[in-house]
């Protein structure tokens, strides 16, 4: 094992870095080189969550009384701190998650964009005035914070996803208990340092590391946590939603995707192939918006598959810190085995392997969790590789005979996060927007991506609750209050409803 890279990582409760009460620690491993132990992180339990909630409750009255524009100013300061620490944060992200350094820098920049946009909403937490049915009565609405909220985030976007949850939660005047993924504790620690350095009062943001079955479950069931925002797997999200329902908690879950690119017979095939390969293998396919399926019309399928294969074979799998690398490793052994398992399943089900299909073991890469970018052709809609989320660098190509069949096949999965259509036919593009069952739709660009000022989220099994990012993020972290001000100065008569 090589020398550790970061100091031992601790929980952050009431403005103090403290060890978890279990006294146990976990190892933070570099997925590109499993002999490189980045360091250790503390393992909390339910009692640490309880302490974090007490700290949040104590800090809540002062924070919710802080005017929203002032809360926004703090987010602007956090944005500037993050800009100053951008390279540090990106490098930590690459080392513990395996994302290419260029992609890590892009993720940090998106988090900066989210902070900038959300901070501006501090001057736009608007309600509305409305005429009353009653004379001499002034009616209006205002937004109010929820209270103490729990935030549970995944490993695949360990900077941006926490920021797009934490920022609107803080802006709305809530106090936060934050549980990051155990695979990415370093970036979580830096994020909390950034908010603290920006001047966030003690107790408003608390960090508790540990497993989902202990720390995560206590966040869901703690009676003083009134809302939970979760991003992760369908299995965990469904259980979380079920556990929170009897407690009447507000819940937001963003879960899986099985995103399709549709390539029609009039598409620019070079553009479609480039967008497909970028969407499928960027971030090693480890993002909920990754391109997992291509639904291509038979008349252009051979030419399209040939170009996809050419571009895929040109991807250099390698050390994510090196600028020449085109794809990094799977995040850990579990995901690595999942990728290889689905590749084997696809072969057994009769899909035709076009390229990839195995572990990469060249040189030092054998020390990491590297899987070759893999493409399967002649995949049938009922195959597991076409229905189940792999969350890795595995692309399935399904052939269809018509536009209507393409829509049917693209819709024929339980998920509904994002999709893409490549065509030069405006009518078909607008029909696609009307008929595709996804929360985000792209025309002539990849399935991936999302901008800070626009809603993020999907339909069907992909998610429940309000959308994330943009103005809609405010909806989850606040509640409406309707106010009636009677200025008659006397008792009213008649039916007042």
Active site residues: 254, 288
Contact 431, 218 (CB under 8 A): no
Quick check: 339 and 394 in contact, CB under 8 A? yes
Alpha helices in 125-205 (DSSP H): 160-171, 185-197
Cα angle 83-86-92, degrees, rounded to a multiple of 5: 155
Sheet with 137-145, side-by-side order of all strands: 129-131, 137-145, 478-486
CA nearest neighbour of 119 among 82, 79, 146, 161: 79
Residue 484, judged by CB atoms within 10 A of its CB (0-12, 13-18, 19+), counts as: exposed
Concatenated DSSP letters for 54-81?
HHHHHHHHHHHHS-HHHHHHHHHHHHHH
Residues 6+ apart with CB under 8 A from 377: 301, 305, 351, 352, 354, 397, 399
- Please report where in the chains the tokens 């802080």 appear, as a residue: 66
Residues 273/308, Cβ–Cβ less than 8 Å: yes
**Rounded CA separation 45/210 (Å):** 6
Facing residues of 12 across strands? 17, 207
186-208 burial, b for 16+ CB within 10 Å, e for fewer?
A: bbbbbbbbbbbebebebbbbbbb
């Amino acid at each position: 094992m090589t020398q550790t890279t970061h100091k031992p990582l601790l929980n952050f409760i009431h403005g103090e870095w403290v060890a978890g009460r279990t006294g146990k620690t976990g190892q933070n491993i570099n997925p590109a080189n499993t002999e490189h132990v980045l360091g250790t992180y503390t393992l909390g339990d339910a009692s640490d969550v309880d302490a974090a909630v007490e700290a949040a409750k104590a800090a809540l009255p002062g924070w919710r009384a802080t005017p929203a524009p002032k809360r926004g100013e703090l987010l602007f300061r956090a944005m500037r701190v993050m800009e100053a620490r951008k390279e540090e944060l990106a490098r930590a992200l690459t080392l513990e998650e395996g994302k290419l350094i260029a992609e890590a820098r892009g993720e940090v920049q998106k988090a900066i964009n989210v902070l900038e946009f959300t901070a501006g909403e501090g001057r736009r937490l608007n309600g509305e005035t409305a005429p009353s049915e009653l004379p001499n009565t002034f009616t209006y609405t205002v937004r109010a914070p929820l209270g103490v909220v729990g935030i549970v985030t995944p490993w695949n976007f360990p900077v941006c996803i926490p920021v797009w949850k934490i920022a609107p939660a803080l802006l709305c005047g809530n106090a936060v208990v934050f549980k990051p993924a155990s695979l990415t504790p370093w970036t979580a620690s830096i994020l909390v340092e950034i908010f603290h350095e920006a001047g966030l009062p003690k107790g408003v943001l608390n960090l508790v590391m540990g497993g989902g079955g202990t720390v995560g479950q206590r966040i869901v069931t703690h009676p003083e946590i009134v809302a939970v925002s979760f991003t992760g797997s369908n299995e965990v999200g469904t259980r979380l939603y079920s556990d929170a329902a009897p407690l009447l908690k507000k819940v937001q879950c963003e879960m899986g995707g099985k995103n399709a690119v549709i390539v029609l017979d009039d598409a620019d095939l070079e553009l479609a192939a480039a967008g497909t390969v970028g969407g499928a293998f960027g971030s090693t396919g480890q993002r909920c918006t990754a391109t997992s399926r291509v639904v291509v019309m038979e008349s252009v399928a051979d030419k399209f598959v040939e170009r996809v294969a050419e571009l895929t074979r040109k991807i250099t799998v390698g050390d994510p810190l090196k600028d020449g690398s085109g794809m990094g490793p799977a995040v850990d052994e579990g995901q690595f085995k999942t990728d290889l398992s689905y590749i084997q399943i696809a072969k057994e089900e009769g899909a035709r392997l076009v390229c990839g299909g195995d572990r990469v073991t060249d040189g030092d890469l054998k020390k990491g969790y590297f899987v070759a970018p893999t493409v399967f052709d002649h995949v049938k809609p009922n195959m597991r590789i076409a229905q189940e989320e792999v969350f890795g660098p595995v692309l399935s190509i399904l052939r269809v005979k018509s536009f209507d069949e393409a829509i049917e096949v693209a819709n024929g999965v339980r998920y509904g996060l994002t999709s893409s259509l490549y065509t030069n036919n405006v009518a078909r593009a607008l029909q696609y927007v009307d008929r595709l069952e996804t929360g985000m739709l792209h025309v002539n660009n990849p399935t991936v991506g999302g901008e800070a000022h626009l809603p993020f989220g999907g339909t069907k099994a992909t998610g429940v609750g309000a959308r994330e990012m943009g103005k809609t993020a405010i909806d989850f972290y606040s509640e409406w209050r309707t106010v009636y001000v009677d200025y008659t100065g006397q008792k009213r008569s008649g039916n007042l409803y």
